[in-house]
């Protein structure tokens, strides 16, 4: 294998690296035999020296302020978005110091890091494992992300790879990678669901697999729901018990908080295998907390979280236009799916057997390796094609605050759309392009993704420039926007990198509101279009009247001027049907004027 491409599962709790060849995919172990890397970092506050993985996790209770975990939940997020999590984190998270004011930084003693830098350290360690395995430098990787990661989170992942010295040749959605790991691309024609509940995120994807083509029909999820949340429920239970037993005034320093978190994780894992687990925590000063927790208690605690995942499953099926019973297989992915209650609930919801033949902790990394081998031309499945989808509609702002939609929700990536615009003012030398995301018709109701300006347009009358605006979503789900004025060749473009991304709650809200307000939004959009048309049409007729002043009879001129004044008086009307009829009548009455202009132009030509 001359230039291997590795597959990486950059996880909230654990991260893995794998590769695939003609013999199939397999996990790459560390030089000392570890099959996975805990996504935990310890930064020495005195020297800045880095410890990563299992050793860093062992330091978590002793040095909680300098031990960093769950970094994936910070990627592409603003401080406001992660504020509910801050009370569960033993380290400091502050607003980013740079230009991106809505990003965050992590403090470890005097040292300050972005989530991308911290994730890059994890990726660099996995890269080192792969280089030790192959005994050669590794520079390319397929990296997985949750299907519901938005533009900002995907960009942050690519940035982390670059910092680690890796080219992210493909960003693959975790559920699609899991399907690849199961070899489901060999299915002739089958509907499958991939239920992916990891440490920090949840995804559900409904896919149709047919002759090596994976077509995502529907996807939903929550980038803020995972095994960490189950741990937090157990920590809250411990805290309530301890304060009941030893007094409500008892405080928990960072060291104790981290110890409670470790106990919670251990109990959760134990209850996946046994029906009860014993907890013993030394609180100091002769105080000891002891408790037996049953699997039934844990299942009661986590029931609301499981229900949230099933709500996402219902939304994904609705998007796909399917019923639960139509899904042939449900693939379980992620460490949290070891819980018997979760497997049972998912099996009941889909009325199907859940598939766990491949280690749920390794599935995503193995699938990433399969995709890497396809890209490298090294595997058996070179004809496999992945067709993921755009989670929300993409468009641009037009005059009056309306949105022209170019790429619809559910479009398969990669995808491309273009439309033509022109200027609204004579001699206009630049045009601002504002890119938006959402299901509504008006700018104020959508999410801004970015703006740029097309400058240097040669002075021309309004309506003459031909500006082609193109949106491209690549195979990684990354959006690029370009604009070109065709007559002059002037062009500009950006890769849209939002300052921070959408939360799952915002995405759900935007989709719901898009449906609820569709009728009124379309009416508002129509009114704006008509008002713009009034300005364009009346200006054009006035300009033609001035040009043909020596040919137009006085009575006809006065009639057109009167009609122009009447139509312009409708600029503040909110009855689109009356405005449309008035415009139609004006255009009918001005048709002879247009014919005169054409005849004159032909004669002069």
Question: Which residues carry out catalysis?
Answer: 9, 72, 174, 196
Half-sphere exposure of 556 (CA within 13 A, CB side): 17
Instruction: Find out whether 166 and 141 touch, Cβ atoms under 8 Å.
Output: yes
Burial 437-463 (b: 16+ CB within 10 A, else e): bbbbbbbebbbebbebebeebeebebe
Q: How many other C-beta atoms lie within 10 A of the C-beta of residue 231?
A: 24
Dist. CA 383–CA 151, nearest whole Å: 28
DSSP 357: S
Cα angle for residues 115, 119, 124 (degrees, 5° grid): 145
- The residues facing 203 across adjacent strands are 196, 221
Give one DSSP letter per residue of 253-277, joined into a string: -HHHHHHHHHHHHHHHHHHTTSSEE
- CA-CA-CA-CA dihedral for 421, 422, 424, 426, to nearest 10: 170
Instruction: Find out whether 257 and 64 touch, Cβ atoms under 8 Å.
Output: yes
- 210, burial (CB in 10 Å: exposed 0-12, middle 13-18, buried 19+): middle
Dist. CA 165–CA 190, nearest whole Å: 39
């Amino acid at each position: 294998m001359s230039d291997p491409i590795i597959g990486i599962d950059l996880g909230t709790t654990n991260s893995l690296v794998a590769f695939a060849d003609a013999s199939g995919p397999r996990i790459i172990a560390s030089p000392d035999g570890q099959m996975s890397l805990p996504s935990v970092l310890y930064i020495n506050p005195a020297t800045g020296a880095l410890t990563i993985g299992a050793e860093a996790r062992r330091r978590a209770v002793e040095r909680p302020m300098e031990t960093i975990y769950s970094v994936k939940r910070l990627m592409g997020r603003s401080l406001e978005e992660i504020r509910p999590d801050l009370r569960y984190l033993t380290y400091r998270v502050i607003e980013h110091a740079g230009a991106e004011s809505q990003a965050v930084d992590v403090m470890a003693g005097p040292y300050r890091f972005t989530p991308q830098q911290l994730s890059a350290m994890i990726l660099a360690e996995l890269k080192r494992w792969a280089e030790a395995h192959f005994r050669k430098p590794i520079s390319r990787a397929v990296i997985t992300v949750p299907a519901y990661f938005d533009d900002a989170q995907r960009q942050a992942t690519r940035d982390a790879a670059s910092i680690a010295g890796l080219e992210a040749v493909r960003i693959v959605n975790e559920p699609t990678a899991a399907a690849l790991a199961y070899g489901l691309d060999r299915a002739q024609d089958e509907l499958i669901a991939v239920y992916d509940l990891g440490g920090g995120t949840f995804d559900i994807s409904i896919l149709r697999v047919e002759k090596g083509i994976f077509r995502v029909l529907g996807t939903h999820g929550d980038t803020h729901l995972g095994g960490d949340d189950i741990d937090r429920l157990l920590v809250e239970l411990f805290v309530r018990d301890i304060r009941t037993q030893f007094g409500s005034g008892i405080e928990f320093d960072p060291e104790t908080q981290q110890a409670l978190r470790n106990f919670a994780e251990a109990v959760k894992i134990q209850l996946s295998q046994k029906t009860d687990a014993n907890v013993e925590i030394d609180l100091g000063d002769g105080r000891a907390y002891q408790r037996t927790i049953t699997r039934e208690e844990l299942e009661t605690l986590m029931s609301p979280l499981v229900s949230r995942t099933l709500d996402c499953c219902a939304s994904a099926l609705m998007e796909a236009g399917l019923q639960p019973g139509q899904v042939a297989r449900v693939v379980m992915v992620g460490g949290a799916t070891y819980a018997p209650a979760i497997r049972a609930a998912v099996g009941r919801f889909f009325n199907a057997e859940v598939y766990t033949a491949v280690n749920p902790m390794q599935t995503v990394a193995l699938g990433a390796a399969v995709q890497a081998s396809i890209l490298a031309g090294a595997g058996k499945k070179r004809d496999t094609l992945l067709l993921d989808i755009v989670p929300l509609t993409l468009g641009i702002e037009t005059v009056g605050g309306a949105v022209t939609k170019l790429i619809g929700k559910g479009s398969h990536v990669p995808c491309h759309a273009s439309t033509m615009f022109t200027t609204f003012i004579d001699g206009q030398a630049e045009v601002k392009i504002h890119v938006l995301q959402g299901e509504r018709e008006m700018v104020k109701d959508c999410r801004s993704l970015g703006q740029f300006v097309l400058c240097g347009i040669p002075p021309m009358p309004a309506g003459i420039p031909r500006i082609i605006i193109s949106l491209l979503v690549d195979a990684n789900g990354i959006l690029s926007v370009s604009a070109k004025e065709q007559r002059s060749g002037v062009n500009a473009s950006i890769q849209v990198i939002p300052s921070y991304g959408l939360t799952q709650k915002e995405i759900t809200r935007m989709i719901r509101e898009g449906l609820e307000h569709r009728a009124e939004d379309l009416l508002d959009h129509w009114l704006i279009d008509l008002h713009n048309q009034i300005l364009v049409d009346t200006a054009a007729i006035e300009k033609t009247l001035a040009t043909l002043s020596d040919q137009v009879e006085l009575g006809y001129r006065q009639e057109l001027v009167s009609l122009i004044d009447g139509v312009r008086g409708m600029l503040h009307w909110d009855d689109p049907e009356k405005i449309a009829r008035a415009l139609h009548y004006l255009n009918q009455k001005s048709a002879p004027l247009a014919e005169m202009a054409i005849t004159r132009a032909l004669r002069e030509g």
